[in-house]
Amino acid sequence: MPKPLTVVAVAGAALLVRRALRRRVRASPLWPMPALDEPVSGRPRRRALRLLLTSHRTVAEGVVQLRLAGDGLPRWEPGAHLDLVLPSGLVRQYSLCGDPADSSSYTVATRLVEDGRGGSREVHEQLREGMEIEVRGPRNRFPLVDAPSYVFVAGGIGITPLLPMLRSLPDGAEWRLLYAGRTRASMPYLEEVRALGAGRVTVVAEDEDGRPVLDALLADLPEEAAVYCCGPEGLLAAVAERVPGVRFERFTAGVVEGDAFEVELRRSGRVLTVAADSSVLAAVRAELPDTAYSCEQGFCGTCRQRVLEGEVEHRDEWLTDAERGDSMLICVSRSRSDRLVLDM
Ligand code: FES
């Protein structure tokens, strides 16, 4: 068991990293998040697809790759992701890492997160070849821009959105990649990545090489270089510290910061305070622990609640304009007024 002080120190460090990252995110040209490749609000949502899981195999230590087959699947561009609706109802986002020209299947990969929220464990342990899986998307918040040169930084499973980007770069493109992981055995697609760019790829396995040295990689970057990063929060924060304009992808709970406000739960007769760095969902769950939620990123609609009074600041990518008239997704959205009244 870790000692209490150790726990506090680790939690404190994690908070500092999150705060640093939020500051960097907001300083980034990508804040607020870039527009989706098609607007969601004001349009009918794209129909969910039911695809057949034709392959479920281990491609690195703790990483499984899924192939989901269907006919005439919607096109996607490198950087796009899919929402998978798991049999339990959890919704999780995974970057597409196969071939964008393949209209008969989608490929994603996921790492087992031992102390995660349950989605990766369900993918690893419950999904079987032959099952039908509901998917939504693809959507792209991490598009590859035209640039004279590129720097990619991947941590472990973070290689997945970058892999289709690397494959799509034209011959003669100037790029380099740092691919870091705990051990070589835990790094998916390592051989393919190496083969894509002899001399351009630096592989850092921490058990052999120690922590990746970012300064050398990110020193003297031309101003127009596009820098892409995907991986654990510590890596994102370290890159953002050095390159404020970094483009990144992350599928953890959304950034929910804003001003503090009150929420009245009319049917329950409670009034809560939503702190500046917390979400309505977190405040509500502290009082009503059974409140439904899943993605915590405004993607899945599970946490939708009816709004009786107050002005909502919608931050989701799910509700249509009509739905925004009287409801909100409480995992990400906040209030423009001092108080919101919810029908809960
Ligand atoms: Fe998925 Fe809120 S939990 S939209």
93-147 residue pLDDT tens: 899 999 999 999 999 999 998 877 788 999 999 999 999 999 988 988 889 999 9
| Distance from Cα 297 to the centre of ligand 1, integer Å | 6
Ligand 1 proximal residues by C-beta, below 6 Å: 293-296, 298-303, 316, 318, 329, 331
Cα–Cα distance list, 254 to 227, 270, 312 (Å): 22, 25, 17
Is the whole-model pTM more than 0.85? no
Pocket test for ligand 1, best of 117, 252, 285, 299 (most atoms within 8 A of CB): 299
C-alpha distances in Å from residue 20, one per residue of 100, 150, 239: 34, 24, 11
User: How many Å lie between the centroid of ligand 1 and the Cα of residue 4?
Assistant: 32
Percent of the chain scoring above 90 in pLDDT: 56
User: Could you report the per-residue pLDDT of 319-333, keeping only the tens digit for each?
Assistant: 888 889 999 999 989
Q: Which of 85, 324, 331, 342 to mutate for ligand 1's pocket (most ligand atoms within 8 Å of CB)?
A: 331
pLDDT of 255 over the 90 cut: no
Per-residue pLDDT at 17: 44
Percent of the chain past pLDDT 70, that is, above it, reads 84
Hey, what domains does the chain have and what are their CATH numbers?
24-139 (2.40.30.10), 149-249 (3.40.50.80), 261-342 (3.10.20.30)
Of 115, 106, 134, 112, the C-alpha closest to 125 is 112
Band (232; pLDDT cuts 50, 70, 90): confident
Choose the residue to mutate in 285, 291, 303 for probing ligand 1, maximizing ligand atoms within 8 Å of C-beta: 303
Distance (angstroms) between ligand 1 centre and the Cα of 314 equals 12
Q: What is the mean pLDDT of residues 314-318?
A: 81
For residues 10 and 188, the model is more confident at 188
Per-residue pLDDT of 1-50, as tens digits, reads 444 433 333 344 444 444 444 444 444 433 333 333 333 443 445 568 99
pLDDT (0 to 100) of residue 266: 95
Atom of ligand 1 at shortest range from CA of 301: 4
Q: CA geometry: angle at 28 spanning 24 and 31, to 5°? A: 105
Q: Rounded to whole angstroms, how far apart are CA atoms 319 and 45?
A: 9
Minimum-distance ligand 1 atom for the alpha carbon of 303:
2
Query: Distance from the CA of 122 to the center of ligand 1, in angstroms?
Result: 18
Residue nearest to atom 4 of ligand 1 (CA): 298
